[in-house]
Structure 1
């Protein structure tokens, strides 16, 4: 660049580099933020699916093992056992989360 006789100021180069670094960091932060939002939305979706599966499993247990012609004491015992199974499933799900 000797033929044009332009002297580039070192301060200008530092300033331009600083602006580029700032924009790059801002871009990286925006990407990180979008990724974090996506992960949170995915976790919520998975949580809803897990709750739905648990409800379906409980309904299936009630339907498949429903008593036919039991007296009142047997019905209470049956529902106590069913409640114990539900509680155990809930504890297992809490441990997995």
Structure 2
């Protein structure tokens, strides 16, 4: 039996919604999800769970973390996604 993740207790509804989105992605349909809430309520844990669930489903997962200091950096988060190990994605993300 897998261990219970205490940070995700009472997150069944959110996990079900994210699982449905991951299923849509596996079917080739696009999706956007916004996770909001007060700091300290486990949004990062929920997103880490979703990323792992997506990887287990065979999807490629890219992650980036925006900070307030980057608000003036154009495409700052995109640059994180296109770090050295992900440069091959650049041609598919930007039209020239």
Q: TM-score range by the shorter chain?
A: under 0.3
Normalized per residue, the structure richer in helix is: 1
Q: TM-score, normalised by structure 2?
A: 0.25
Using structure 1 for the length normalisation, give the TM-score: 0.25
| The structure with more radius of gyration | 1
